[in-house]
Amino acid sequence: MQSDNPSAAILVIGDEILSGRTREGNAHHLAQVLTATGINLCEMRVVSDEQDQIVDAVRALDSSLGGKYDLLFTSGGIGPTHDDITADAVALAHGTLAEVNDAARAILQERCDRMGTELTPGRLRMARIPIGARLIENAVSGAPGFSIGNTHVMAGVPEVFRGMVAWLIPQLASGRPVQSQSIEVRRGESEVAEDLKQLAASFADLSLGSYPFHDEKGWGTNLVVRGLDPERVEAAMTALKQRLAL
């Protein structure tokens, strides 16, 4: 699909994801938000809680560091424990250090005061932000995420991640939302493959996909047309229905 929208990648960080202990859902949620916003998600990666892996991935994906994409979103590793190393790793990737940020500390102190709890060293770890970074608001639990370069670092806890996404995305430049139409046919994928191939050649600016399924009625295929121009998407779907005599 041809597009002039901003490009993006998602980096999920955490041993618990790789071990299967935690089911990852943040990337799925963000992918839906980006598609609706007009930001093209091009790549997802999952890395462990290892500094070198995080640093290498950030440098490879953030265009401000010579990486491939206009925007990089990360999930995980900014909590209060010893293995929450994302802030330090992202700082290192961007050539700086993480230290307690005054604004972040004030946010945590105000929350602790309101809840009648102490700002312990563990909680204070969540105020460690790369020097020069901008804070991402966290209306759910207080501890902020941050943006540095084109890297946007958010929490791994799903409710907190979603809150940060809701605050962050409107702050970013976006493009045209992807338009999509689909049709379900009671034919196997191989039966429609040639028609889809020929149609794709005529609509090179669009993305045409086929997704087989099986239910109580047997096999079928979902055919999907995606693009930025609704008229082109409509034209391609009309042509597809004609080819399949639907």
Token pair in block for residue 235:
């034209």
- Given a cut of 80, whether residue 1 has pLDDT beyond it is no
**How far is residue 35's CA from residue 176's CA, in Å, rounded to a whole number?**
9
Percent with pLDDT over 90 in the chain: 96
- Domains of the chain by residue range: 7-171, 179-243
At a CB cut-off of 8 Å and minimum separation 6, what does 95 contact? none
Average pLDDT, the chain: 96
The architecture in CATH of the region 7-171 reads: 3-Layer(aba) Sandwich (3.40)
The architecture in CATH of the region 179-243 reads: 2-Layer Sandwich (3.30)
**How far is residue 224's CA from residue 196's CA, in Å, rounded to a whole number?**
10
pTM for the model stands at 0.91
At a CB cut-off of 8 Å and minimum separation 6, what does 125 contact? 79, 80, 81, 84
Q: Which residues pair with 185 in a beta bridge?
A: 221
pLDDT single digits (tens) 45-101: 999 999 999 999 999 999 999 999 999 999 999 999 988 999 999 999 999 999 999
**How far is residue 245's CA from residue 191's CA, in Å, rounded to a whole number?**
13
pLDDT single digits (tens) 187-224: 999 999 999 999 999 999 999 999 999 999 899 999 99
